[in-house]
Amino acid sequence: MVNPAAQRLAVRVETWPIAGLFTISRGAKTEARVVVAELSAGALHGRGECVPYARYGESPESVVAALEAMAGKVAEGLTREDLQHEMAPGAARNALDCAFWDLAAKQAGRPAYELAGLPPPHPLTTAFTISLGTPEVMAAAARNASARPLLKIKLGADGDPDRIAAVRAAVPEAELIVDANEGWRPDNLAANLAACAAAGVTLVEQPLPADADDALRTLDRAVPVCADESAHDCASLAALIGKYDAVNIKLDKTGGLTEALAMAAEAQRLGLMTMAGCMVATSLSMAPAMLVAQTARFVDLDGPLLLARDRAEGLVYEGSLVHPPAASFWG
């Protein structure tokens, strides 16, 4: 006899159009392709979403294959705790881990934050991303977003001092953080950081390639530097000490909420500031990240704001203020 409450896993790829063009140092795109994992047990369903990232050798096809390979173990009773050892950190594990959290919350009739031993989440101010472009185009985009208190400026190409100066002139009151996406080099690092300091930038994210960031150890810098591509999970944190002041925690890198919460606690123990970051994705990706963001110094969960449309009943954004998800949506 089949157990009606046995776990079942369904996986699908979805495409969500981006509003305009999203450009960083590695290229541009007009749509976000996400992979959704849905766990079912009886009449209850839990969902998780991830964004495969070519930077880490991931594709929608490879992530779907990795998840579908877990279907048998899921049906045999795989737990969220088992999952941490069965799959490596990355996008695929993230989708399934978050689906486990969502399903567990629905099965328990209690919110995910409570299951995680956390206080109730509250609304947070998220950064809003300004894509890489000419100084004039970026200044215009920043001016259009001038009502937002925190802007994340994408840099990582020749001429960045002119870009950040133009943005600052366009939005003299906004707090600015910069993301170079590994686009700077040791020979222009000091000049670019000096330009950021002159513009009153609060934080610079991943200025150098992850395999060439030792130059940060001897750099006397006026702006704190945050690791993104150089940091993935708890095991990667120790190598950041002496090079970085902060770490960007993204669930697609950590492999889910479980590791992300542990990573945030360990980063703070090591004296690193934390940022809760995201890929361009829907509210289903942002919802679990809201729990990590509660203790973060910087919140960058603007993915749905960059889309032409979001999921029905997704997170509520009031300007740059993002509210926690409704329990019926996730967790």
Residue 316: pLDDT above 50? yes
Considering the chain, what percentage of its residues have pLDDT values greater than 70? 98
Residue range 109-138: mean pLDDT, rounded = 98
Confidence band, pLDDT 50/70/90 cuts, at residue 5: low
Q: What is the C-alpha to C-alpha distance for residues 57 and 245, in angstroms, rounded to an integer?
A: 27
Largest CA distance in the chain: 70
- Candidate CATH numbers 3.20.20.120, 2.40.50.100, 3.40.50.720, 1.20.1250.20; the one for domain 124-322: 3.20.20.120
- For the chain, which residues make up each domain, given as ranges? 7-115, 124-322
29 is catalytic: no
The H or E element spanning position 247 is: strand 246-249
Q: What is the C-alpha to C-alpha distance for residues 206 and 226, in angstroms, rounded to an integer?
A: 6
286-296, pLDDT tens digit by residue?
999 999 999 99
Active-site choice (29, 152, 243, 250): 250
Residue 1: pLDDT above 50? no
Return the residue matching tokens 């541009």: 28
Residue 162: pLDDT above 70? yes
181-200, pLDDT tens digit by residue?
999 999 999 999 999 999 99
Are 7-115 and 124-322 in the same CATH fold?
no
- Hey, what's the torsion of the CAs at 78, 81, 83, 84, to 10 degrees? -170
275 in Cβ contact with 263 (< 8 Å): no
Q: What is the C-alpha to C-alpha distance for residues 199 and 176, in angstroms, rounded to an integer?
A: 9
7-115 architecture in CATH? 2-Layer Sandwich (3.30)
Residue 110: pLDDT above 60? yes
Output DSSP code: residue 144: H
154 is catalytic: yes
Active-site choice (73, 154, 243, 253): 154
73-97, pLDDT tens digit by residue?
999 999 999 999 999 999 999 999 9
User: What is the residue type of 165?
Assistant: A
Mean pLDDT lowest among 27-31, 32-36, 158-162, 237-241:
27-31
Residue range 161-178: mean pLDDT, rounded = 98
